[in-house]
Amino acid sequence: MIIGYRVEYAWWKYPADKLAINKKYAKTHEKAKEIFQDIINKHFHKVRIVPIFNKRI
């Protein structure tokens, strides 16, 4: 069962020149897609939507 979504994106952190990963969370897939589009519009190219599953079966 999916309980939410995580939107992850990578960017170069200056001045250290290290790759940093930021995460944003959403309850619905529609909200996750809105966050995804907002990040893409800010010229971040490595973005993905990851579903968060309930570990209890």
Confidence of residue 57 (pLDDT cuts 50, 70, 90): low
Task: For residue range 2-51, list pLDDT tens digits in order.
Answer: 999 999 998 777 777 788 889 999 999 999 999 999 988 887 678 999 99
Exposure string (b/e) for 25-38, b if CB count within 10 Å is 16 or more? Answer: ebeeeeebeebbee
Length of the chain: 57
